[in-house]
Chains A and B, each alone.
Chain A
Amino acid sequence: MNYKEYTFEDFLKDKFFIGWVKNPTPESDYFWKNWMRQNPDNCEAVEKAAAIISSLNYSKELPTDKETNEVLESVMVDIHRYDFRHDDRKSWNALAFRIAASLALVIAISYGVYRLNAQNFQPETIQVTEAVKKAEKGQKLFFELPDGSRVNLNANTELIIDSEFGKGNRIVSLKGEAYFEVAKDTARPFIIKTHDLTTTVLGTSFNIKSYPEDQQIKVAVRSGLVRVNLKDSSGTPFNMVAANEMLTFHRKDKQISIGSFIPEEVLGWKDHILYFKKADFDEIKKSLENWYGVRFNIQDKPRQEEFTGIFKRESLEEVLDALNYTSDNVYTLNGNIVNVQPKKLTKSTHYEKF
């Protein structure tokens, strides 16, 4: 690449040269200006090529933001439709989705369906007072609601059953984590209120995790379909969450995302499976305090954790053993208290800081 021997046509085709003519950077500018100073005989070729290159102005026709967004929306609608038609779901699920989708709108607008379906009306099971079900730390509960729906409550969870439960609506309020298997009753939507979100159920099984201290609320659907909207809004915008999907609501910025989930990780708790996946210290502490009803006593700032493990109906000692094996902290159990201390680094465990 000896520029000294370049003809003007060679300059015309040289990418580095072209780049400098069209988008000079301090480096390329320095190079070429310097080169031209040192090779005055070649200046004419350079200038001729530069003149031609800089005259190649194609008319730029850019779309408006509106046009860009419109086409994008059309693309998204098309792929949604495509995915729905090509889903591997069982046909009854697909049917339920179609029924539910149309039902959801009806429910949002009025209770006309309820009134029209008089023949579906079931005898009322009246709850006179508001019932509260509470699982303490270290405890789990499993029980049936008046309509036959079954509920698992995870530790440190409270479920308030509305006094009007069964009449027109089936409303409960949740603080914590629960797994629901909702009995089908298309005339009476099952509604779960959590701190920021309202979840309306259409005969399904799913998990809601909404602890007050968490930054996120998670609604994971195992089968069927639920509709989730912000607590204060009457209906729209809402999100449909279908089987194998989990909706995550970020409380701080009020953003919603929907993705997949690993069933053992999210639902395992109701089968007494304790699941850690790259859990950091805070997560370990929160999980163990809730699961076993213990309290953590932290003496010095603990070292970072990234713990992965699955425990089925195992004692806390066994979990702590597993932790201690790989952790840079030391966990010891004393009655109801777990003491945590960072491990003292000996010469053999000392690593370089960078």
Chain B
Amino acid sequence: MIQNTAYNNRPPNFIQKGQENISEWHARDDADIWEEFKTGNRNALIFIYKSYFPELFNYGFQFNKDKDLIKDIIQDLFVYLYKKRESIKKTTSIKYYLFKCLRRRIKVQADRKEKFDNALNVPSFTIEQSPESVYIAGEEQLINRHEISKAINKLPLKQREIIYYYYFENFSYKEIASILGMKQTKSARKLLYRALEGLKKTMAE
């Protein structure tokens, strides 16, 4: 087939089901898929979108409960990345790259409105309250999950964020440092340490 040459692949005006050949993309690694995207391959764009939109939505939602706003920001992000595809960096982790971009956009949005921590008066990156408690064998100390979530929800935003990135999204210190705009990886390490210390302190009270 004479496609995928120097020009773009354009899907038909009406996106028809099953044409994106999604299964073929799953076998490729991030760097490869990103390269394809950078050449303007719209199938790559669609694959990346479908792979990461739910997570990005969830992530954005942690910052701001206004779903429509989050959807708009993510839409703008994908259009922007497509427009600037030739100049954007290569990456070996698309998820990390998209998270980083999204965070920056949300911050810009929020700075304009002078609100970063919440839109509808609900704090960001909060843990679900769970009534369960767990007994630690050999000790009579009860680890109360309820206490843990309360304690985390009391931490400052960046510390709550790093716990989210490290435990929930499974990013590395290096990726987290980059997402948070830190110059050194060890800053991320320190931040997590501080967060866990803060947690310990709150729980001990």
Which residues in A have some Cβ–Cβ distance to B below 8 Å? 9, 12-13, 15, 18-19, 22, 43-44, 47-48, 51-53, 55-63, 67-68, 70-76, 78-79, 82-83, 237-240, 244-248, 253, 255-262, 265-266, 277
B13 CB contact (under 8 Å) in A60, A79, A237, A260 = A237
With a CB–CB cut-off of 8 A, which chain A residues contact B137? 43-44, 47
CB distance from A53 to the nearest CB of B (A): 7
With a CB–CB cut-off of 8 A, which chain B residues contact A60? 58
A71 CB contact (under 8 Å) in B19, B53, B61, B200 = B53
Q: Is B79 in contact with A260, judged by CB distance below 8 angstroms?
A: no
A-B contact pairs, 25 of them (CB 8 A): A19-B170, A22-B167, A47-B137, A48-B136, A51-B145, A55-B143, A56-B163, A56-B167, A58-B126, A63-B53, A68-B54, A70-B71, A71-B71, A75-B78, A75-B82, A79-B45, A79-B82, A82-B82, A82-B83, A255-B16, A259-B3, A259-B4, A259-B7, A260-B5, A277-B2
How many residues on chain B are close to A (CB under 8 Å)?
Answer: 64
**Which of B42, B54, B126, B163 has the most chain A CB atoms closer than 10 A to its own CB?**
B54
Interface stretch, picked from B28-36, B97-105, B127-135, is B127-135
Q: For chain B residues 129-186, which have a beta carbon within 8 Å of chain A?
A: 130, 132, 134, 136-139, 143, 145, 148-149, 152, 163-164, 166-168, 170, 172
Q: Which residue of A lies closest to B41 (CB)?
A: A259
With a CB–CB cut-off of 8 A, which chain B residues contact A72? 15, 46, 49-50, 53
Q: Is A68 in contact with B3, judged by CB distance below 8 angstroms?
A: no
With a CB–CB cut-off of 8 A, which chain B residues contact A48? 136, 143
A260 CB contact (under 8 Å) in B3, B74, B166, B196 = B3
With a CB–CB cut-off of 8 A, which chain B residues contact A82? 79, 82-83
